[in-house]
A and B are shown apart, each in its own frame.
Chain A
Amino acid sequence: MNSLWQFKIRHVFSLTIICLSFVIVGVFLSMSNNLRFRARELSKNLMVVFYLHKDLTASERGLIEDEIRHSPLVDSVRAVGPEEASEKFIEDFPELKDILLNLNINPFPPSIEASLKDPGLPTEKILQFITEVKKNSGVEDVQFNREWAEKIRSLGRLTEAIGFFLGGILVLASFFIVSNVIKLNVLARKSEIEILRLVGATNTFIRIPFLLEGVILGVAGSCLSLLVVFFLIKLFPLYLGSSLGALQEIVGFRYLTQTQVLALIFGGGCVGFLGSLSSLARFLRM
């Protein structure tokens, strides 16, 4: 602890680098968490939306609706008219309301939303059902939200990978910084180490304070980064305001899980320990 205070400038510097590295990992992990959460939500409400031709008669719509309802995969069916679709759009995206009103026509086709019985149904079976319904000339297009869920999930994985890649590079940089800071500390305390050796101190006895310094730096840096990530999550939506609209739900932050928090703290400790160890292995040969 004495040494941490004695060489405070270099320690503050290394603490900042460790913190920044883990902030990058934390932010990307948080975004990934959010995307995965959205994907899970979508998968839970497994739904297929069949968009119909605008000029279909009520009886033709009824026939398609019956065909869908009688499928063994379908739990419930709901017909959505163009007006209702328009209202829902305005409700979800209020900032785009003017564009829709300026069109003077309602661009939304009538649709049938079919909720599926089992969220775990194999995709092939659902696609087969969609193909069957699509054969009907009244069906113009189909939207299947599992595809969206898959896409969002992939995006989540990609975000996580980018986070680990960028964070990994920075964590590696932190490792070298910790290693060099400990090297400087070893050099600064050369005379003390020399005396300790001559009065019979073991290698472990001499190394432990340096290793502890590394671990303290790493853990403190990662804890600080968690605090920064927490404030970023709180402040980011305030900074953006409502400009992102519904998109905010997708790109917004969700705080890290308990396991991730512990993993980041442990990671910080490991970076500090290994950085210190590598330095001692090179500069404190005994």
Chain B
Amino acid sequence: MIELYHVWKQYQKPLWALSDVNLSVTRGEFCFITGPSGSGKSTLLKAIYREVIPTEGQIIIGGINIQRIPDHKICAIRRQMGIVFQDFRLLFHKRVFDNVSIALRVLGAPPRDMKRKTFIALRMVNLQQRLWDYPSQLSYGEQQRVAIARAIVNNPRILLADEPTGNLDPDLAHEIFGLFRVINKQGTTVIICTHDKELIRRFGGRVLYLHEGKLHEKDVG
């Protein structure tokens, strides 16, 4: 499903954000990427959804080398993904409904379908009552849940989440991870970047450790 071959990324010399990363994630896999701040976790995710272009190496998603396809064709790959950004990236002048349904709007979903799916996604993150609020009226944790709802609303084949529970209390974080597990059980490949070792331990799955741009498989026991 997701394959990375000898991926290197350098923003500024002489530091490497990613250093010879090789990774293969199979369809339906649930995996964590962990590591200290600045280890390259976000860069790795950004390279997968091609927000950053690796300095060297190849990234293949669903059999397509995303380095080789032209810019205007990357939208087809991104439509199969749900992304939870570390900084949420919500539109503060639009309501919660519009923020979530934007992912369906780009797919050209009919309005009725759009309403139904948006409502279901918001119910999954316990925000169905805040449908017509603006993000500025929500707490930090609620904003994060809106971002999660936007990522799952189109039933993506791949779910990438960058610190999705960073601002949530332990109970809600547990709930959200449970939600990711449910989505994963439905066949979605899930990759989560997180610091939270406790949650990783509790939910299990494959754990990858990034340190100074180098990726290692880790056994969390």
Do A201 and B106 touch (CB < 8 A)? Answer: yes
Q: Which of A191, A192, A195 has the most CB of B within 10 A?
A: A195
Is A187's beta carbon under 8 Å from chain B? Answer: no
A198-223 to B contact mask, C-beta < 8 Å, 1/0:
11111101000000000000000000
Residue of B nearest to A192 (CB): B91
* 5 A–B pairs (Cβ distance < 8 Å), ordered by A: A195-B91, A198-B83, A200-B103, A202-B75, A286-B71
Cβ of A194 within 8 Å of any chain B Cβ, yes or no, is yes
A98-154 interface (Cβ within 8 A of B) = none
CB proximity to B under 8 Å, residues A159-218: 191-192, 194-203, 205
Against A, the Cβ 8 Å flags (1 = close, 0 = not) of B43-66 are 000000101000000000000000
Contact call B89/A200, Cβ cutoff below 8 A: no
Beyond A194-B89, A195-B91: 9 further Cβ-contacts under 8 Å?
A195-B89, A197-B78, A199-B78, A199-B79, A199-B83, A200-B75, A200-B78, A202-B72, A286-B72
B72 touches A200 (CB 8 A): no
A102–B86 Cα distance when bound, in Å, is 96
Number of A-B residue pairs, CB cutoff 8 Å, is 44
B102 within 8 A of A: yes
Cβ of B120 to closest chain A Cβ, rounded Å = 17
By the criterion CB–CB under 8 Å, are B102 and A197 in contact?
no
Smallest beta-carbon distance B188→chain A, Å = 16
Chain B residues contacting A196 (CB-CB under 8 Å) are 102, 106
Query: B71 contacts A195, CB within 8 Å?
Result: no
Enumerate chain A residues within 8 angstroms of B79, measured Cβ to Cβ: 199-200
Mostly, the B contact residues are mixed
- B107 CB-CB contact with A under 8 Å: yes
A198, B91: Cβ atoms closer than 8 Å:
no
Contact A201 B91 (CB under 8 A): no
- Per the 8 Å Cβ criterion, residues 81-109 of B in contact with A are 81, 83, 85, 89, 91, 102-103, 106-107
Residue among B51, B72, B103 making CB contact with A199, cutoff 8 Å: B103
**CB-contacts of B105-147 with A (<8 A):** 106-107
Smallest Cβ distance from B191 to chain A, in angstroms?
Answer: 16
Size of B's binding interface in residues, CB under 8 A: 20
Chain B residues near A200: list those with CB within 8 A: 75-81, 103, 106-107
Chain A, Cβ-Cβ closest to B46: A198
Chain A contacts of B103 at CB under 8 A? 199-200
Cβ-based interface call for B9 (8 A)? no
Whether the Cβ atoms of B91 and A191 lie closer than 8 Å is yes
Task: Count chain B CB atoms within 10 A of each CB in A195, A197, A198 and give the residue with the most.
Answer: A198
Query: B41 on the interface (CB 8 Å rule)?
Result: no
Closest-CB distance, B103 to chain A (whole angstroms) = 4
Contacts of A286 in B (CB 8 A): 71-72
Residues of A within 8 A of B150 (CB): 199
Q: Which residue of A lies closest to B70 (CB)?
A: A286
Alpha-carbon gap, A34 to B51, bound state (A): 61
Give me the 4 closest cross-chain CB pairs, A-B, nearest first. Answer: A200-B79, A200-B78, A201-B106, A199-B103
Cα–Cα, bound, A201→B77 (Å): 11
Which of A191, A195, A196, A200 counts the most B-chain CB atoms under 10 A from its CB? A200
Nearest chain A CB to B181 CB, angstrom units = 23
CB distance from A65 to the nearest CB of B (A): 83
- Give, as a whole number of angstroms, the nearest-CB distance from B176 to chain A: 20
CB < 8 Å: which of A191, A201, A202, A205 contacts B89? A191
Interchain CB contact under 8 A, A198 and B89 = yes
Shortest C-beta distance, B87 to chain A (Å), equals: 10
A203-B85 Cα distance, complex, nearest whole Å: 22
Contact between chains at A199 and B91 (CB < 8 Å): no
**Whole-angstrom distance between the Cβ of B23 and the nearest chain A Cβ:** 21
Contact indicator B71/A198 (Cβ below 8 Å): no
CA distance A200 to B80 in the complex (A): 8
